Structure 1
């Protein structure tokens, strides 16, 4: 059976390891992860402890062994919207150059890098161009156009998951000469930015669509959730949801079929005749105030009694006196998925979920009155139910999953790239293409078998 060696940099808990090792039959040459908690979970599940910081592994002498495939979910903070967006000029951004040094010395035939979508955004055009140019200088065929992909665009039979998680994938093939690398490089993304094989992302249902090795829905029955009470809502969170659920119910009883798509802000309920907007108010806010006033004026017969019943929302923090309804015609708030955000209570249909983030914004399942469990979050990232987080605080588990790569998306990108570049890859590593193209198209099939876990090379 064909195989290959892979290096897993900035490895986290091993999303790439699942795709390359357990699914495609690769053997681990080396992993590197500076976060000790993530490294412990990696070792617990993959039976191989990662090395630490990549910098000493690549700068004093090349400690990274020979390999055929390199993966790296390199740090996203320099490019993330939540950071300062200093890009490659920020210290952490220079970790790309440590990856580049490995490419220059070890010349792995296949490279898969992953980062936040913002890396390909308008503020980082120069950074993107620099990364492409340097990889081509190192002899790699790489598309000059970014490939942006999300697991919710992938159907379940290919390992898709109901999560909007747009990430940039940089796929590259070693061809040797920089001139040849530039000549072969495409100017189109590896895959179009849209659903795959006719899949309709609106067909996702987190309570019904079967996913994963066991073909179970994403959401567990409550009886299967360990420490269920830990994920129940707090008293204040329950109060916020109950108050807004009453708001929706009263409007439905009035016969309002569609709630507005703009944020509803109770602090700005004002009759249109009394609305005053100063000259110094920004245009976006003025529009927002006018829409809220018009909505209140039309429905004050429902809104005023609702406000009186709930003490004019004085028991709620200011950020909880806002409702962002994105659930279309869903009848009840309790049929939705919710997120308590600084901007208010955001409400969506229970189709696909937003990207995993910190525990404080973990999705709330309205039908269950609780947050998404760690096991459900792991399923959302494509990890099988045998993948463990033994002895670890939930906050760390959510953080690690939120920082990880989605297994299905990574596997789809790898296979698509190898299918496209099979002949070029065979020039230097024929076993790589054979191993990857002979693996199941659905990574869930391979991940159903814990005995497929790869051993170290």
Structure 2
């Protein structure tokens, strides 16, 4: 049994600690824990294609004696009435699915977690007592709609002897500078970190600050990010043409960009930030107050703003429509545009998403969170979509990470479901630093000795150069 002093018996002598990787996906936790000197002794992933990607990148090149136990369904390894089939380990990491817990009787703790996948995590903690537990979930887990689930998770961990904070640690990789594993992706996730101290202390030591706070680290300016830093060179991309925009997509963007340019030439401004619905461009006086009153407020507000936009720029809009008669034949969703790119000069200079609700354009500084459903980012200057390999780099995986020959749809889904390596490393390393007195010395030494940047060459060298240029003037000011 792993106590607060830790156990590394049976693992490779070069490793300082052992870890179990649950709901492992393609290995975000593995990337940062192996970077810290750990060895994986157990991995569980139910999705066959994701599991193959994990094994291809993290396991297959290992000597046979160092292969972890590979599990395809965590429920089979955590029977209710028998021992868990998970080896001893020091760190348990899990990007677990959030399931609603039964509120029958408003119980708390392990009994109420029964029947959910969190209960399977709790069974392992109960029997193995690893020194650290590291959990990751979507930000909504800490929101008001899931307050009950959050309370059950925290209470269960405390009953199992883990000191945890009641306050969520919410963090995103774009808050980290390149030198600390940051990437240009806005991806808020909730992290729950606990240290095994025994039930008595865990139930008493509840006044614990969150491991990290949501915000930039080391005064990093998030607007310094550049999407180009995670892109591969076009000539290195196999089958590049399948990521290129279609003729129709190119035409839709060209027509909307013509409006961007006309607005700048005639008014000296870019488009406004509210959603533009071209089908709603009528004079404000033509709006029916009764119909507006019957609509949801958000929708009536958009209709009023679009009418006022039309009134203010009627000459520009009419000239633009006359010059682009094909616009009237665009699909409904392509007659809508949401400009979130501030003063970016052209639509082709932005990052775009072709959404069911319209075309959304953002400044090319950082990307929105990758999601399991495919709305792949379009990089305007490249006139193509992000490739799966680039999406993996955005999550913090190095240039040697590979999906093999699997279909792109599966790769995008796996990355969207994954853990951002740099963000996970930052919160884990911070937790180990804060809890060093109650953790195994080998674990602490290994984690703190590892480089603060766990993502290797996921970013281009331009990222480091930009960070260095930004910090040098500050250093000179301090020296002066």
| Fold-level similarity (TM above 0.5) | yes
Aligned to 1:97: 119
On the 8 A contact 2:398/2:457 being kept in 1, the answer is: no
Distance 1:37 1:221 in 2: 27
On the 8 A contact 1:78/1:90 being kept in 2, the answer is: no
On the 8 A contact 1:18/1:447 being kept in 2, the answer is: no
Which piece of structure 1 moves more, 335-344 or 184-193?
184-193
Are residues 1:439 and 2:460 paired?
Answer: no
Aligned to 2:245: 233
Q: 1:391 to 1:153 in 2, by over 3 A?
A: same
Are residues 1:388 and 2:408 paired?
Answer: no
Distance 1:140 1:363 in 2: 40
Return the offset for 1:2: 6.1
Distance 1:142 1:339 in 2: 38
- 1:116-141 CA distance string (max 9 Å, x none): 00000011111111100110000000
Aligned to 1:274: 286
**Equivalent residues in 2 for 1:136-175, closer than 5 Å:** 136-175=158-197
Q: 1:121 to 1:411 in 2, by over 3 A?
A: same
Question: Which residue, out of 199, 203, 209, partners 1:188?
Answer: 209
Return the offset for 1:91: 10
Question: Which residue, out of 312, 316, 328, partners 2:342?
Answer: 328
TM-score, normalization by structure 1: 0.89
Which piece of structure 1 moves more, 70-79 or 334-343?
70-79
Return the offset for 1:276: 2.0
Return the offset for 1:189: 1.6
Return the offset for 1:187: 4.1
On the 8 A contact 2:113/2:119 being kept in 1, the answer is: no
Distance 2:31 2:58 in 1: 9
**Larger RCO: 1 or 2 (CA < 8 Å, sep 6+):** 1
- 1:335-369 CA distance string (max 9 Å, x none): 11001111111100000100112464111011111
Aligned to 2:154: 132
Aligned to 1:455: none
Distance 1:204 1:410 in 2: 19
SS in 1 for 2:216: coil
Aligned to 2:87: 65
Distance 2:22 2:315 in 1: 60
Count of residues paired in the alignment: 426
Return the offset for 1:446: 9.5
Aligned to 1:203: 224
SS in 1 for 2:329: coil
Aligned to 2:25: 12
Which piece of structure 1 moves more, 45-54 or 127-136?
45-54
**Unmatched tracts of structure 1, length 5 or more:** 80-87, 208-216, 449-457
Question: Which residue, out of 88, 93, 97, partners 1:75?
Answer: 97
Aligned to 1:118: 140
- CA RMSD after TM alignment: 2.2
Aligned to 2:45: 33
Distance 1:221 1:447 in 2: 13
Aligned to 1:364: 378
- 1:390-424 CA distance string (max 9 Å, x none): 11111111111110001111111110000000001
- 1:284-321 CA distance string (max 9 Å, x none): 22221111001011111011122233336232111111
Distance 1:323 1:77 in 2: 35
Distance 1:384 1:55 in 2: 32
On the 8 A contact 1:117/1:148 being kept in 2, the answer is: yes
SS in 2 for 1:384: coil
Distance 2:275 2:99 in 1: 29
TM-score, normalization by structure 2: 0.85
Distance 1:410 1:103 in 2: 20
**Unmatched tracts of structure 2, length 5 or more:** 1-13, 60-66, 102-109, 460-480
